[in-house]
């Protein structure tokens, strides 16, 4: 029984770590622009396909492809900001909702045209196999997902907390006009935030696309998970997004192993409604207030 | 030599003119008080200098270079340091991060600048890890000034720095501003408290309804009938 629980916990951790990257990228863009980037889920999907396309020319394990996928996806993120965000500055926030949804639909259509609707799998991160530890089966793939996602989250944290670039990114997010008045060029930093957020989504795409496959339409599923994670964690809170993502995955894996995946999904939405009703600021709501 | 020269500057949108052909100039290391009641156009003038208000006509020059159409970040890099109305510190960032983010130098030079600001405002050094939103109003004001100094400005624009502060704190703050001005940084100080402004700046410009109505020695202006009119109406 304990063995089974530990096994489920590792599954939840692996899934949650990947969700955390998606939610983190989402919340960084949200904080920098107040814009809800609905293309974030489709960027996960795109990251999966970029990994598959790369693997066709560079037959390497996923871990070696990861930096390339992240950089290519970051470039796509900068492009996203140029197409769907900058032209709409000064318009109501709903304009960016729609432009990012539109861009997501275009990505979905392109993926369908290029790769087809069949589920595809990206290469494994380090190869098949598992560690057996005190009777517990620990697949390399899942351990590697947890390790790589944790590393990326740590790197993001260090970038924002310890570097001058990170300070500038935060300053632009908190008061763009004031940051500019201090000599900080805001536009490249905002494009950079989109690049970073999309790079994280793309990395998540590669991490997920081996075990859970990738299909052109799965972006919707991921943006919903990220949105729920950020709602649970506290709108705008960076640690909240990570914790929220882990909770979403824990809930999903726990309930679907006991009951079924559909029940898990239904209960997840019910739980979100309950949180919105009883604690609308989320778990880390304070941080979001301090930001305003 | 003239550091800042403003010629016939008009600012406003639509039919409304917040500033109407305002001209003034400021030499290197000079301190100038910008006096006037609420709504006289002090904040608008400072925002226009920084590049945050829509200029309709006229020119702004820094060191002879026309900056009227430059974006705020380019002007800041030419030496304008801005301390806005309401302080506008970055609320979620620590005191130290608020200061460091404004510096353009490498880590070593940044630490030297930080030490200078901490020397001027020891209260900030004591709270360097505190999030800015948790500071008192006076400390936030010191932080906003310190942050502007981290950019090593040639010209410091201060928008009513004593607003909302207790008199004792305000007096202390003005003593520090005087220190900054004596150190050779030019200061343009928007202020409603004329006596206080006159302690920092020897020269003053008096604004009323977006126009310059008097200009000259700050102490003399403080006693003039124009000043009375500017605050209480003719």
For residue B52, the chain A residues in CB contact (below 8 A) are: 177, 181
H or E element at residue A83:
none
Q: From the CA of A169, how many Å to the nearest CA of chain B?
A: 9
Task: For chain B, state the CA radius of gyration.
Answer: 17
Residue B226 pLDDT exceeds 90? no
Measured N-to-C along each axis, helices A219-233 and A261-278 cross at an angle, to the nearest 10 degrees, of: 30
Q: How many CB atoms lie within 10 A of CB A123?
A: 22
pTM: 0.91
Mean pLDDT in chain B? Answer: 92
Q: For residues B42 and B163, give the distance between their C-alpha atoms in angstroms, rounded to a whole number.
A: 14
Contact of A287 with chain B, judged by CB distance below 8 Å, is answered with: yes
Q: Pick from B180, B169, B208, B182: which is nearest to B117 by CA?
A: B180
Contact B26, B178 (CB under 8 A): no
- pLDDT tens for residues B39-70? 899 999 999 999 999 999 999 999 999 999 99
Give the DSSP letter string of B187-230.
EEEEES-HHHHHHH-SEEEEEETTEEEEEEEHHHHHTSHHHHHH
Q: How many CB atoms lie within 10 A of CB A106?
A: 13
Instruction: Tell which B residues from 174 to 233 touch A, by Cβ distance under 8 Å.
Output: none
Q: For residues B88 and B82, give the distance between their C-alpha atoms in angstroms, rounded to a whole number.
A: 10
Domain boundary assignment for chain B: 2-232
SS3 state at B31:
strand
Instruction: Enter the CATH code of domain B2-232.
Output: 3.40.50.300
- pLDDT tens for residues A129-146? 888 887 788 899 999 999
Domain boundary assignment for chain A: 2-117+125-216
Per-residue pLDDT of chain A (292 residues; tens, 9 = 90+): 678 888 889 999 999 999 999 999 999 999 999 889 999 999 999 999 999 999 999 999 999 999 999 999 999 999 999 999 999 998 888 899 999 999 999 999 999 999 999 999 999 999 888 888 877 888 999 999 999 999 999 999 999 999 999 999 999 999 999 999 999 999 999 999 999 999 999 999 999 999 889 999 999 999 999 999 998 888 888 999 999 999 999 988 888 888 888 888 888 888 888 887 887 777 776 543 443 3
| Residue of chain B nearest A181, judged by CA positions | B72
For residue B71, the chain A residues in CB contact (below 8 A) are: 180
Please report the ipTM that was assigned to this predicted complex.
0.94
The count of C-alpha atoms lying within 13 angstroms of the C-alpha of B36, restricted to the half-sphere facing its C-beta, is: 24
Percent of chain B with pLDDT over 90: 77
Residue B189 backbone phi and psi in degrees, to 5? -115, 115
Q: For residues A242 and A229, give the distance between their C-alpha atoms in angstroms, rounded to a whole number.
A: 8
For residue B110, the chain A residues in CB contact (below 8 A) are: 164
Task: For chain A, state the CA radius of gyration.
Answer: 19
| Residue of chain A nearest B106, judged by CA positions | A164
């Amino acid at each position: 029984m304990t063995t089974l629980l530990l096994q489920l916990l590792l599954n939840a951790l692996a899934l949650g770590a990947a969700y955390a990257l998606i939610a983190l990228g989402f919340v960084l863009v949200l904080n920098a622009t107040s814009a809800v980037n609905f293309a974030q889920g489709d960027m996960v999907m795109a990251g999966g396909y970029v990994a598959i396309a790369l693997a066709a020319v560079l037959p390497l394990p996923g871990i070696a492809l990861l930096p390339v996928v992240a950089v290519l996806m970051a470039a796509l993120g900068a492009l996203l900001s140029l197409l769907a965000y900058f032209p709409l500055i000064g318009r109501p926030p709903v304009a960016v909702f729609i432009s990012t949804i539109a861009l997501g639909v275009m990505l979905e259509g392109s993926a369908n045209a290029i790769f087809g609707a069949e589920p595809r799998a990206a290469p494994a991160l380090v190869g098949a196999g598992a560690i057996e530890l005190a009777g517990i089966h620990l697949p390399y793939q899942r351990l590697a997902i947890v390790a790589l996602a944790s590393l990326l989250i740590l790197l993001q944290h260090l970038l924002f907390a310890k570097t001058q670039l990170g300070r500038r990114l935060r300053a632009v997010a908190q008061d763009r006009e004031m940051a500019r008045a201090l000599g900080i060029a805001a536009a490249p930093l905002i494009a950079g935030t989109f690049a970073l957020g999309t790079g994280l989504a793309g990395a998540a795409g590669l991490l997920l696309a081996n075990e859970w496959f990738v299909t052109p339409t799965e972006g919707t599923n991921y943006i919903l998970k990220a949105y729920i994670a950020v709602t649970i964690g506290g709108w705008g809170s960076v640690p909240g997004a990570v914790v929220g993502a882990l909770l979403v995955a824990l809930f999903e894996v726990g309930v679907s192993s006991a009951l079924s995946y559909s029940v898990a999904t239904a209960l997840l939405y019910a739980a979100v409604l309950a949180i919105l009703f009883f604690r609308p600021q989320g778990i880390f709501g304070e941080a979001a207030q301090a930001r305003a | 030599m003239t550091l800042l020269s403003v010629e016939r500057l008009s600012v406003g949108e639509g039919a409304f003119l917040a500033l109407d052909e305002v001209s003034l100039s400021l030499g290197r290391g000079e301190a100038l008080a910008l006096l006037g009641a609420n709504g006289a156009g002090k904040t608008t003038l400072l925002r226009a200098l920084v590049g945050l208000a829509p200029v309709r006509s006229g020119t702004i020059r820094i060191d002879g270079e026309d900056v009227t159409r430059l974006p705020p970040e380019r002007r800041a890099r030419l030496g304008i340091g801005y301390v806005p109305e309401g302080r506008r510190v970055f609320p979620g960032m620590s005191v130290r991060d608020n200061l460091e983010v404004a510096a353009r130098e490498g880590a070593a030079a940044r630490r030297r600048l930080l030490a200078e600001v901490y020397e001027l405002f020891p209260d900030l050094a004591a709270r360097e890890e505190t999030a800015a939103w948790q500071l008192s109003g006076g400390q936030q004001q010191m932080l906003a000034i310190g942050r502007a100094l981290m950019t090593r400005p040639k010209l410091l624009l201060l928008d009513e720095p004593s607003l909302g502060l207790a008199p004792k704190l305000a007096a202390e703050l003005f003593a520090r501003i005087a220190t900054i001005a004596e150190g050779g940084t030019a200061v343009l100080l928007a202020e409603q408290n004329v006596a206080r402004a006159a302690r920092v700046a020897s020269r003053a410009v008096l604004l009323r309804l977006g126009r310059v109505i008097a200009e000259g020695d700050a102490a003399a202006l403080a006693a003039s009938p124009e000043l009375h009119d500017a605050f209480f109406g003719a």
